Amino acid sequence: MKKRYMIFAVLIILLFTATATGCPADEEPMTQSSFYVMFIDVGQADASLIMCDGRYMLIDGGNTEDSSRIYSVLKDKGVEVLDYVVSTHAHEDHIGGLPAAFNCCQVQTVFSPVTEYDTSTFAKLKNAARAQGKSLVMPKLGQKYSLGSAFFTVFAPLRKDYEEVNDSSIVLKLEYGDTSFLFTGDAERLSEYDMVEAGYDLSADVLKVGHHGSYTSTSYLFLREVMPTYGVISLGKGNEYGHPHDEILSRLNNADVQVLRTDELGDIICHSDGATVRFEGIEPDVRGTPPAGRFVGNKKTGILHHNSCGGLPKENNRLYFCTITDAARAGYIKYCTNCMP
């Protein structure tokens, strides 16, 4: 009889606990998704670590001299398995430190736009992959790849015959909930134009600015399609190339993009809750976007302006649009030569 009372008491306790916590006794509590992007400060080079729900992707690995930096970041973050390692293109300042990732972690998939490139740096990357029984593969354009509850889509390279190695860069868009990030490697104007022509949805909250802020990338046409809120530039202080070029900083400023630079901030870490993004230790830019929309159509002239343009029409002659696509659907396909050349 006592045994029955004890069992009944235990059941009552379990039922009370389940009611108190709001969780059924036979189910595990829901765990919240987590997501961050770490733009690693590797000087005049490029490297980014993405984490979603305990899954990891490393995009580029800086110069060879950054190997210890890549190794220490992965160790400090507790990364044991990299679901993806992405070599955007074969230049040393993007792949030099990647072999360190193989020394630190098990790697599931290695993406590269080429499988052969005649440098010792590229050979070291292939050897590091081969040591884990992996080969370099080109991701399929337009296919969605999962990373935890996030996913990414590869947009470029769209050709195999680019003369400029930078244009062979893998470009991918990473999406988590309603937030998105566009990683462009060193893709230059030709690749950018090809992506626009292909009709991809290039819009993103955060743009990893192409080619360290060089004027050879981030064309007006491309930037109009992306229209990011933030632009992250990876570069070294006082670099010999003069990056970031004034033309690009001006272009980003005209597009109302808040610029974050590793040469000024060091490592840049961005978190997303699926609805908004925030950067550690960085206050959001208060310039903001008027509720009406980022683009303004002139009813009289049929010309589209950015809302920051100094030559906006009178209020009664304005039509507001959230995106360029919305404006085009309404017939606004001519752009102001001052704010949207």
> Would you write out the chain's pLDDT as a tens digit for each of its 341 residues?
444 444 444 344 333 333 333 333 333 332 346 999 999 999 999 999 999 999 999 999 999 999 999 999 999 999 999 999 999 999 999 999 999 999 999 999 999 999 999 999 999 999 999 999 999 999 999 999 999 999 999 999 999 999 999 999 999 999 999 999 999 999 999 999 999 999 999 999 999 999 999 999 999 999 999 999 999 999 999 999 999 999 999 999 888 899 999 999 999 999 999 999 999 988 766 444 444 567 888 888 999 988 778 788 887 778 887 777 778 878 888 899 888 76
Q: How far apart are CA 195 and CA 188, in angstroms?
A: 11
Instruction: Choose among 6, 81, 92: nearest CA to 42.
Output: 92
Domain boundaries in the chain?
35-279, 295-335
- Cα atoms found within 13 Å of the Cα of residue 280, Cβ hemisphere only: 11
Query: What topology does CATH give the domain 35-279?
Result: Metallo-beta-lactamase; Chain A (3.60.15)
> Whole-model pTM above 0.75?
yes
Query: How does strand 47-52 pair with strand 55-61?
Result: antiparallel
Helix (H) or strand (E) holding 61: strand 55-61
Give residue for tokens 């040591």.
131
Give residue for tokens 């630079």.
261
Asked if residues 180 and 207 have their Cβ atoms less than 8 Å apart, the reply is no
